[in-house]
Amino acid sequence: MIELIFIILGAIFGSFAGAQVWRLRARQLSNDKALGYDYDKKELKKLTPLLKSHAKTDRSRCLNCGHVLGWIDLIPLVSWLSTGGKCRYCKHRIGNFEPLIEVAGATLFGVSAWKLLPGIVSPLDIAQLTLWIIACVLMLILLAYDAKWFLLPDSINFAFIGISILYALTYLYEQHFALSSIISLGGALLFLTGLYGALYFLSKGQWIGFGDVKLSIGLALFVGTWQLGFLTLFLANLIGTLAVLPALMTSKIGRKAQIPFGPFLILGMIIAVLFGNDIIRYYDQMTSTIF
């Protein structure tokens, strides 16, 4: 029952994350216009209504016709399925972004509940779970935004780093700020932030974006140990390779095509946090059996 509640909450927070993605995009386009940068005029015109509301009066609305959505339109997944993926008012196709991010949120929260709830035995564990849930929402926003527009917004990136610092402090407190734990945390930062920072400066931003470097700080602070930091690095590159290789082999993309790497880093970190210790134990057992 508790896991079901988490799944429902995940879908709700996934819907919230999706709404924030569009609001962030509207603000970015508006800022680009104000600063004289190139921007998509058609997209800004469509998203301009999202800029006119204040926090107290802000309401979700159809991005095509601008109609304010009622409660019946805001039930995660159910509303989308009930209208066949179309706006209830103008019948314009909504697209798959909204249901996908809601499913992602439900899956992430459900798996997190399954893996983490059995280990909750103290107020510190509850605090860590709360920080993880907040981080999951931020990571959903970052993943979706980077996948759509090849950009990791600083406002969300810095919020994620802030939550990660708090999480790292709770972890170090749990370890009584032992020197070995501090060194291991430094190792995670070295594997992730150090490597991607070096790649960014060596390539002058051609191989990897600075947003990925900032993202890696938060990811390293969350995984907490050099082992999980290395595993995150390995998994991110493995997932990225498996995702891109078919398109390369079929010539759908070229070797110089730009690929958003933030989603792969986030997926690698989530797997490392939830299953990393199990993966490392399995690897140790395999190597001890072989050798």
* Cβ(170)–Cβ(123) below 8 Å: no
The reply to whether 132 falls in a domain is no
Asked if 159 and 287 sit in the same domain, the reply is yes
Tell me the average pLDDT of the chain: 91
Q: Examine the pLDDT at 288 and tell me if it is beyond 80.
A: no
For residues 208-247, one letter each, b for 16 or more C-beta atoms within 10 angstroms of the residue's C-beta and e for the rest, the string is bbebbbbbbbbbbbbbbbbbbbbbbbebbeebbeeeeeee
Question: Residues 169, 237, 187, 117: is their CA dihedral positive or negative?
Answer: positive
Look up the pTM and report it.
Answer: 0.92
Q: How many CB atoms lie within 10 A of CB 49?
A: 15
Asked if 167 and 287 sit in the same domain, the reply is yes
**What pLDDT was estimated at residue 100?**
95
The model's pLDDT over 87-131, given as tens digits with 9 standing for 90+, comes to 889 988 888 999 999 999 999 999 999 999 999 999 999 999 999
Q: Tokens 């594997």 correspond to what residue?
A: 191
Asked if 218 and 266 sit in the same domain, the reply is yes
The model's pLDDT over 211-227, given as tens digits with 9 standing for 90+, comes to 999 999 999 999 999 99
Give the closest residue to 246 by CA, choosing from 259, 234, 228, 232: 259
Q: Which two tokens stand for residue 124?
A: 């510190």
Per-residue pLDDT averaged across 261-270, rounded?
Answer: 96
Asked if 167 and 283 sit in the same domain, the reply is yes
Question: Residues 117, 124, 108, 272: is their CA dihedral positive or negative?
Answer: negative
Asked if 68 and 187 sit in the same domain, the reply is no
Asked if 32 and 79 sit in the same domain, the reply is yes
Asked if 284 and 230 sit in the same domain, the reply is yes
- Per 3-state DSSP, the chain is made up of helix, strand and coil in percentages (nearest 5) of 75, 0, 25
The model's pLDDT over 45-90, given as tens digits with 9 standing for 90+, comes to 888 888 876 655 667 878 888 788 888 888 899 899 998 889 889 9
| Domain end (from 98, 119, 140) | 119
